[in-house]
Amino acid sequence: MSALAGKRIVLGVCGGIAAYKAVEVCRRLVDAGALVSPVMTRDATRFVGEVTFSALASEPVRTSLWDAPEPIPHTRLGQGADLVLVAPATARLIGAYAAGISADLLTATLLATRAPVLVCPAMHTEMWEHPAVQENLGTLRRRGVHVLEPASGRLAGGDAGAGRLPDPADVVAAAERLLGPRDLEGVRVLVTAGGTREAVDAVRVITNRSSGKQGYAVAEEARVRGAQVTLVTTVDRPVADGVEVVRVSSAADMERAVLPRGPSTDVIVMAAAVADFRPKAPPERKIKKDEGPPEIVLEPTHDFLVDLGRAKPPGQVLVGFAAETDDLVANAAEKLRRKNLDLIVGNDVSAPGVGFEHDTNAVVILGADGSRQDVPLAKKTDVARAVIDAVVAIRRRGT
């Protein structure tokens, strides 16, 4: 049964061309068993007729504070909602919500609810990238609002770029995650993300192509499911309020951040791409170009995941990642055994659309108990859900 079954969802629809996709979002929510209360802004009715949502939803559409028999409809909607979902969310709506301005029924409902809120921005690329929009979204994230970032693709007017409303199936899947199980309530989870940077001199570094997207997706999945999350990261990406962020740069920095926290952590997910080698004795100054190409001597970094495996306290779940280009399963299984892990997530980063810098991934999850789960090419949020599901299964077996 879907996590949406029996849940009351206020579906807010703003005035953007992507409003036509909200019709399919509404249908999918109802098909999943949700009770949908549609709220349209006046501008939204310029793109889609009110009767369309009234026919598909669980009750007639609302467009105004003044068109209902009850005197305070926004309070009723806000208090009765299990989730408020805004798709599409325009720059105007995002700005008003961040500023606390109740200009219409939808913004008043957003301010009147204590339910989870999911906003799905959709707008032209230039608007999406404008500092004011990004700052407003940052404000909302810090307040605990969930943001489903737009996709890239063809936009109105024939342009292409970021700002496209994700497919309705992805919007509904995000809603399901928010209303899904809170099976990590109170559990302390540490996640690492990004690629470490190892100094060549005072200016230059050796690094890898890790974007941190997979680690951030794991951290967000754990947070949504109730965990107390610490994210140790080398990259600067948006993160929801409530996640403790520890910023590091090198493998040694990450080791110093992770090892002291290890004994008091229930789950550790090492999703970061930690360098295997670093330049030996880098100078503290910039090497000048006219000095000629420097001779860089590399030395191994310390594999502190091995230390975590050796010192793993009873009941802790330790998860490693293995980015490979050949013999994926064999190499991942060897690391699983050698590092005393409970799970290892392996991916073949030479395959199209997999791993570094992509929004998608394809992995195999191997367990110390001999289990194996193959996750075919999917969004990194879906991979994160599979990883956390595997973690939860181990914890349940241990209780």
pLDDT in tens, 228-244: 999 999 999 988 778 99
pLDDT at 398: 81
| pLDDT class of 153 with cuts at 50, 70, 90 | confident
Of 208, 340, 347, 361, which is the active-site residue?
Answer: 208
Residue range 169-193: mean pLDDT, rounded: 92
- CA 165 to CA 40: how far, in whole Å? 17
CATH superfamily of 8-178: Flavin prenyltransferase-like (3.40.50.1950)
User: Which part of the chain is CATH 3.40.50.10300?
Assistant: 188-398
Of 53, 128, 57, the residue nearest 90 (C-alpha): 128
Residue range 305-311: mean pLDDT, rounded: 97
Residue range 370-376: mean pLDDT, rounded: 96
Does pLDDT of 38 surpass 60? yes
Does the active-site annotation cover 208? yes
Cβ atoms of residues 204 and 288 within 8 Å: no
pLDDT in tens, 354-364: 989 899 999 99
Distance (Å) of CA 40 to CA 11, 75, 81, 191, 262: 8, 16, 16, 39, 48
- List CB contacts of 396: < 8 A, sequence separation 6 or more: none
Query: What percent of the chain is modeled with pLDDT above 90?
Result: 84
Looking up tokens 């690492």, which residue turns up? 192
User: Which part of the chain is CATH 3.40.50.1950?
Assistant: 8-178
- CA 271 to CA 190: how far, in whole Å? 10
Interhelix angle 380-398/168-178, rounded to 10 degrees, is 30
pTM of the model: 0.76
Query: What percent of the chain is modeled with pLDDT above 70?
Result: 99
CATH number of 188-398: 3.40.50.10300
